[in-house]
Amino acid sequence: MFRADDYEKLGSFFLGRVLADGAEADTPLLYDGKDLTTHAVCVGMTGSGKTGLCLALLEEAGIDGIPALAIDPKGDLGNLLLTFPSLRPEDFAPWIDPAEAARAGQTAPEYAQAVAERWRKGLADWGQAPARIQALRDAAELAIYTPGSSAGRPLRLLRSLDAPPPALAADPEAVRERLQAAVASLLALLGIDADPIRSRESILLQNIVDVAWKAGESLELASLIRAIQAPPFERVGVFELESFYPARERMALAMSLNNLLASPSFGAWLEGEPLDIARLLYTPEGKPRLCVLSIAHLSEGERMFFVTLLLSELIAWMRAQPGTQSLRALLYMDEIFGYFPPTANPPAKQPMLTLLKQARAYGVGVVLATQNPVDLDYKGLANTGTWLLGRLQTERDKLRVLEGLEGASTTTGKPFDRAALERTLAGLGNRKFLMHNVHDDAPTLFESRWALSYLRGPLTREQIRKLMQLSAPAADRAGTRAPSIAAPASSAAAPSAPAPRPTLPAGIEERFVVPPAAGAGGTLVYAPALFATVSVHYVQAAAKLDTWQSLAVTAPLDEASVAAPWDGMRELAGKPALAAGPETGAAFAPLPSLAQRPPSYTRWAKMLESKLFRARPLIVYECRALKAISNAGESLGEFRVRLRDRLRQQRDLELEKLRQKWAPKLAALQERHRRAQQRSGREQDEYASKKLETAVSMGASVLGALFGRKLASASNVGRAASVARSMGRAARQREDIARAEESAEALAAQLKQLEAQFQTETEALREGGSVEELEIGEIEVSPRKGDLNVDSLVLLWVPRANEPRTSSPPRP
């Protein structure tokens, strides 16, 4: 049994115990978490223990403060949330399968008691106290997201059509990859297998989105549907638009997207938190999160749509991060079958290849698991550094795995013993794995450890809903709709007969919020509001700050608020999709008379400048211990994440320095200890040989004396003298053995003392401070008044509701 001191090492993942010649060795398998930056693949048939091993790896990442995105096509990864520090039967009872209890001949409470005892014993056998489960829950938040469903936390997925941030927009290759992935995933959702270079649908949508992105505009699905009908260009390549894609056929594509948007089931894709990688990896406070993305309930097309969007968003987030050699985050996929095949090119394959090739530079590790090795593109996995191989089902599977291993070894220049690996793979049993790590000298055979989580099997949607209700705060459980410009709450009620669109004088610019979808009957009514875009300049030398920010704000506009409209101002997260004209047949709420006079807009612009100067200071955060200041617009949670990354990078650098400092001393002492043990062994062998020789000589002398013709012959006398000398040498040999053993024991004590000193210095790095212990202050920076500019101010018409139709049509 291990002790916590044996495996709780800095930056190491406790995955199991080493097996020497198939037998258990008293050595824990400690995997350097940093090795995951070169990615890993885990292969094993059903029942091999593959899921348990990968869950253990995710648990270790959580304990070490590494956030992870875990894509769950089968429903098994939700078990990560079944972590019970008290290990009470009542904790396990709600998750017991009654069928399993019946097969065991027990009632559900009896079976829960048995499971609790089995888990307590299993953890104890591996030296893991229940406190380690609590350490996992303290170090990382555990959450389940269910895109397209409200069982877990819902996700809003169409963020991929948002204009790329400046950091990504500066990289044309990255923008092109994101563009192709967004279009391919959307077409996959429609059941269209579109080649990004040859497909008309793909080329048309890519051009539409590209035009919007180059203008810095995001697209909603409704805007995309309208743009398909009337694209913002007249040519595609050298051909006229009508020749390339006639209007009638474009209308069919637009109708397919509109049917998708109008489908009640698609509404779930538009609800919940945005698909924002930073928000998935960390809580608003900056705490790491093990984020399970459960997609078992989705159809094949919907799964491909989601996985492609997720990978594209991860690439965009990754490229906005500074480079690092430390492990920053993990992407884990529980079953890669169908997403990374050797021949076909599904939409998810290209972003996955991009991650495998480029993620290392940003500290993002990719871990892929499968039970079907023949369905993996091993050429794409040539740069994968760690292979975790469990029991395989067929000879064909073994051949494909060996092929992948040989390719990885060739890439790194490591020796590859195919025959030895083939023999080892043939003998693997349950929970027995062979680890081939390019960072190690040789493959390692090991048994995976007992999981901290209760491995009860796949969770249903109802079980996920129940689990999230028990584990998540109420504020987090509530699904949220996509942020949009809502109709002004203080607007006057619509008249009994809808009013026509007011006629405005020159100098007043109008814009219209694009409705998310057409309502079922009734008349669409627009309510008035103000919409402004503002440039704000913040400067402060002490904070090393000199930055411009662009803001988009909106405010209700009615008779009650027209005198001071900005009192109800709301800042928008981004620039919304706006149209130049209204929907056909729409009606309009009353417009205050002041809003029909151009001078009012000049006055409102000055009022907005004054309001923002007073009410819009920029808060930046400062950590003096690390001499770090937050970026403009960076939240406290985001700043904590950046500090956490810096601390981890510093820790890894210091740990590497310690290893370089102590490695020669430890290696030299280990070699002396090895030689001392060898010398002790030789002395013992020589002593045993001399002892046997003395015994034989003494026996011969006794026999000669008893049965020889002469009791005291010369030969017997000589033999007796020889025996005496042999006994003397044996005595001296015993003394040599004692001295050799003392030397070996002394060297072992020195080695243990040296290892303890190394461990003490290593632990000092762990205790060197955490993000939570750092003191973070605030610096308030007011805008520079002379550089606060209202760039545009327009009258905005916001869709409020579909009012019931009346018998009287609107009057002109």
pLDDT in tens, 751-785: 677 667 767 766 666 655 677 778 899 988 888 88
Helix (H) or strand (E) holding 301: helix 300-319
Task: Look at phi and psi of residue 39 and say left if phi exceeds 0, alpha if psi is from -120 to 50, else beta.
Answer: left
Task: Specify whether the CB–CB gap between 34 and 326 falls below 8 A.
Answer: yes
Per residue in 557-603, pLDDT (tens digit) is: 988 888 999 998 998 876 777 888 888 888 898 899 999 999 999 99
Pairing type for strands 289-294 and 68-72 reads: parallel
Residue type for position 760: T
Task: Specify whether the CB–CB gap between 64 and 118 falls below 8 A.
Answer: no
Mean pLDDT of the 208-219 span: 86
Give bridge partners of residue 291 from the DSSP assignment: 69, 143
Spatial CA neighbour of 193 closest among 382, 347, 349: 347
Mean pLDDT of the 304-314 span: 90
Which percentage of the chain shows pLDDT scores above 70?
80
Per residue in 351-386, pLDDT (tens digit) is: 999 999 999 999 999 999 998 887 788 777 777 899
Residue 273: which pLDDT band, with cuts at 50, 70 and 90?
Answer: confident
pLDDT of 652 higher than 70: yes
Residue 283: which pLDDT band, with cuts at 50, 70 and 90?
Answer: very high
CB-side neighbour CA atoms (13 Å) of 126: 24
Structure tokens at 773: 């212990």
* Range with top average pLDDT, 18-22, 281-285, 711-715, 804-808: 281-285
In sequence order, the 6+-apart residues with CB closer than 8 A to the CB of 179 are: 206, 209, 210, 213
pLDDT of 101 higher than 80: yes
Sequence spans of domains, the chain: 1-129+329-480, 510-617+782-803, 643-768
Residue 807: which pLDDT band, with cuts at 50, 70 and 90?
Answer: very low
Residues written for the chain: 812
pTM for the full model? 0.77
pLDDT greater at residue 524 or residue 54 = 54
Return d(Cα 161, Cα 515) in angstroms, integer. Answer: 17
Task: Specify whether the CB–CB gap between 297 and 177 falls below 8 A.
Answer: no
In 10 A of CB 53, how many CB atoms? Answer: 24
Return d(Cα 802, Cα 526) in angstroms, integer. Answer: 9
Residue 269: which pLDDT band, with cuts at 50, 70 and 90?
Answer: confident
Return d(Cα 672, Cα 680) in angstroms, integer. Answer: 12
Structure tokens at 435: 């680890």
Spatial CA neighbour of 162 closest among 316, 319, 369: 316
Mean pLDDT of the 268-287 span: 89
Return d(Cα 589, Cα 572) in angstroms, integer. Answer: 23
What is the DSSP code string of 270-298? Answer: GBSEE--HHHHHB-TT--BEEEEEE-TTS
Helix (H) or strand (E) holding 538: strand 523-540
Task: Specify whether the CB–CB gap between 596 and 510 falls below 8 A.
Answer: no
Secondary structure of 544-606 in the HEC alphabet? CEEEEEEEEEEEECCCCCCCCHHHHCEECCCCCCEECCCCCCCEECCCCHHHHCHHHHHHHHH
Confidence (pLDDT) at 691:
62
At the second CATH level, the architecture of 1-129+329-480 is 3-Layer(aba) Sandwich (3.40)
Confidence (pLDDT) at 480:
45
Confidence (pLDDT) at 545:
86
Per residue in 316-359, pLDDT (tens digit) is: 899 889 999 899 999 999 989 889 998 888 888 989 999 999 99
Give the residue ranges of DSSP H helices in 75-171.
Answer: 89-92, 98-103, 108-125, 130-139, 166-169
Confidence (pLDDT) at 360:
94
- Taking the C-alpha atoms of 437, 439, 444 and 449 in order, what is their torsion angle to the nearest 10 degrees? -80
Return d(Cα 364, Cα 234) in angstroms, integer. Answer: 42
Give bridge partners of residue 525 from the DSSP assignment: 587, 801
pLDDT greater at residue 125 or residue 543 = 125
Confidence (pLDDT) at 374:
79
Residue found under tokens 């956030």: 67
CB-side neighbour CA atoms (13 Å) of 804: 3
Task: Specify whether the CB–CB gap between 737 and 676 falls below 8 A.
Answer: no
Q: Of 41-45, 461-465, 474-478, 636-640, which gets the smallest average pLDDT?
A: 474-478
What does pLDDT average to over the chain? 82
Mean pLDDT of the 436-457 span: 91
